[in-house]
Structure 1
Amino acid sequence: MASVTIDNVKKSYGVHHVLHNISVDIADGEFTVLVGPSGCGKSTLLRMVAGLESITAGDIAIGGRVVNDLPPKQRDISMVFQNYALYPHMTVAENMAFSMTLSGAKKAEKEQKVNEAAEILGLTPLLKRYPRQLSGGQRQRVAMGRSLVRNPQIFLFDEPLSNLDARLRVAMRAELKSLHQRLKTTILYVTHDQVEAMTMADKIVVLQNGRIEQTGTPLELYDFPANTFVATFIGSPSMNLLPGEIGERGSERIFISRSRQRLPLPDHYQHLAVGTPVTFGIRPEHFQYSARPTDFEATVELVEPMGSETQVQLSLGGEKAIAVFRERIQQRTGDRLWFTPQVEKVSLFEHESGRLIPRREGAER
């Protein structure tokens, strides 16, 4: 396996700029996920690493060797596509061994490699079947097996689970993560699904409009989003964002929303000046339900019981929010609901730029 270094990479098609100064370091054996909305440039970046797209500027190195001008077959990578790309006239075993067949490998070597990969992926009983006889999940595992037999330095995945149904996606996420933990492979994985990114990645790179918004571990991005885009893109349901300004109550700084809701602020934001325009951010699970009246009242707009939790859409004086409670809420649409926000979990963002406001030095979350 090997590391990958993407250094100030740009991609343009004429005057249309797709990627702007992208820099990412992927450690040997790391599972890195590129995530972002459609059109953000994540698949283009993956194809540049694979050698399927040219680089306008910057460098890409695999294992310390710059590969800008190397064709895909000389980069020692393997790519798993969204549509599996299996040959319908070949059996599972023949599909998995195809690259070795092209390279002139001996029959015994091919059988050994195929059998080893099939054992890892649970494909041994299917080796004589054809792709048309397989389920979507089985076809995806065959595509992965074809990559495994090559033993490449880097595995590249381009939205490999997007064609699967919801239940199968969950199962395949677990299989991919388990496979990575066993093989300690270097993986660069592209998806628009932030749940895939959160559950599988060692490191997430969030892209928007061809630029990196934030890089970090899943929990770093979840707990400390760099801006309002990351705050709303990472997490399901996404973070609640309420525009307003800094106010005061006695000697304490508070948040006052546009609808005049007054919400407390943690110690690390008590230094902000009264009147500063900000955006107040709080995760849905950081509202605590209260059966008795408190200072914080909302109107219930919709209750969605999920079994293990209850999602409630709220109106805070006209501002929309979503809360997630472990309790089974009995209120219905139009009812009042009281809650207490977990103040230490609040994030504030600059109103204009959307950037996270730094916490006061020495304050802990």
Structure 2
Amino acid sequence: MAPVAFRDVRKAFGSVEVLHGVSIDIEEGQFVVLVGPSGCGKSTLLRMLAGLEHVTGGEIVIGDRVVNALPPKERDIAMVFQNYALYPHITVAENMGFSLKLKGVSKREIAERVKPAAEILGLAHLLDRYPRQLSGGQRQRVAMGRAIVREPQVFLFDEPLSNLDAKLRVSMRTEMKNLHQRLRTTTVYVTHDQIEAMTMADKIVVMHDGIVEQVGSPLELYDRPNNLFVAGFIGSPAMNMLTGRVDATDRTKFKTGDGRVLPVGAPGRAEPGRELVYGVRPEAIRLGGDIPLTVEVVEPTGSETHVVARLGASEMTCVFRERISAGPGEELRVSFDPSAVHIFDAKGGERLSA
């Protein structure tokens, strides 16, 4: 395993710059997830780390080597792609050991390295099968096994679960997390799914339009988003946001555009007269209180009840642990947890609350 560093990395396709000076430090053994919407540059950054894209500017470092000019085979990395990229005409065992065969490793050593990897991934009974005889989840494990037997310094994953159904994605997330905890190999993982990022990462890098918006642990990003983009992107259901200003005489009160007064726990740098955005996560809304919501949709999920309602002209999503009997058009009285309220600058998007 080895640390990885991106130092002011830039990428341009012709006259179009898609990465604008990205700097990230990844510690040895960390599981780091690059997350963001389509087109944000996360896959391009991963491909540059793998040596599949040329670096326009800056440096990429693996261990103590600047790898900008090194071909992929000399970077000591292993990459797992979205489409698995298995050879259909050879067996699972041969797929897993193929890269070692190309290096001239003996058959005996290949078998010695394939066997424990197959046991870790639950593939030992499938080694003689061909990819067409496997399920999607099994094929994904074969692709992971092929990476493991190479014993690289860094694992790279490019949206490896996107072709799986919802239930299998959940189980594969758990398998991959367990695998990383056993191997402790430095891992860089790309996804657009923030739930994958939250559940799997030691550290998340949120990207948007070719820049890094915020880097931190999953709960750091969830509890203290740096700006409106991160606040809206991390969390499902998404954070509720309302525009307005803090009260001129009491900064612990926020007045929305239609005159409603909401509580603020720690307004920080939110000054009266400044146009602001008030953010509250769905689970920070509690039943009982003096804030009236008009119910639009009730979605029971079993353990929770999701309610879409209106506060004046604004739509709000609430997540309650309690069962809700209210129907569309009925009123719910709720309260907001002031300590969980976030205040952002409406123009620049920066976080202002403490």
Question: Is the CA contact 1:259–1:319 (under 8 Å) kept in the aligned structure 2?
Answer: no
Report the residue type matching 1:230 in the other structure.
Answer: V
Aligned to 1:168: 168
Provide structure 2 residue ranges, at least 5 long, that are not aligned to the other structure.
none
Provide structure 1 residue ranges, at least 5 long, that are not aligned to the other structure.
360-365
Deviations 1:115-166 (CA, angstroms, capped at 9, x unpaired): 0100110000000000000000000000000000100000000000000000
Question: How far 1:264 moved relative to its partner?
Answer: 1.1
Distance in 1 between the 2:195 and 2:211 partners? 21
Number of residue pairs matched? Answer: 354
Question: Is the CA contact 2:270–2:352 (under 8 Å) kept in the aligned structure 1?
Answer: no
Aligned to 1:362: none
Matched ranges for 1:201-240 at <5 A: 201-240=201-240
Q: 1:72 to 1:251 in 2, by over 3 A?
A: closer
Aligned to 1:330: 325
Aligned partner of residue 331 in structure 1, secondary structure:
coil
Q: TM-score, normalised by structure 2?
A: 0.98
Question: How far 1:274 moved relative to its partner?
Answer: 2.7
Aligned to 1:276: 274
Distance in 1 between the 2:149 and 2:142 partners? 11
**More displaced, 153-162 or 104-113?**
104-113
Distance in 2 between the 1:333 and 1:295 partners? 19
Q: 1:258 to 1:119 in 2, by over 3 A?
A: same
Aligned to 2:316: 321
Question: Is the CA contact 1:260–1:317 (under 8 Å) kept in the aligned structure 2?
Answer: no
Aligned partner of residue 352 in structure 1, secondary structure:
coil
Aligned to 2:148: 148
Question: How far 1:95 moved relative to its partner?
Answer: 0.2
CA RMSD of aligned residues (A): 1.1
Q: Percent identity?
A: 58
Question: Is the CA contact 1:253–1:274 (under 8 Å) kept in the aligned structure 2?
Answer: no
Question: Is the CA contact 1:253–1:272 (under 8 Å) kept in the aligned structure 2?
Answer: no
Distance in 1 between the 2:295 and 2:284 partners? 17
Question: How far 1:265 moved relative to its partner?
Answer: 1.1
Distance in 2 between the 1:69 and 1:335 partners? 64
Deviations 1:258-294 (CA, angstroms, capped at 9, x unpaired): 122210111x21774332211000110000112xxx3
Question: Is the CA contact 2:5–2:24 (under 8 Å) kept in the aligned structure 1?
Answer: yes
Distance in 1 between the 2:126 and 2:269 partners? 64
Distance in 2 between the 1:130 and 1:14 partners? 42
Q: 1:228 to 1:242 in 2, by over 3 A?
A: same
Aligned to 1:306: 301
Aligned to 2:180: 180
Q: TM-score, normalised by structure 1?
A: 0.95
Aligned to 1:84: 84
Distance in 1 between the 2:290 and 2:255 partners? 14
Question: Is the CA contact 2:308–2:315 (under 8 Å) kept in the aligned structure 1?
Answer: yes
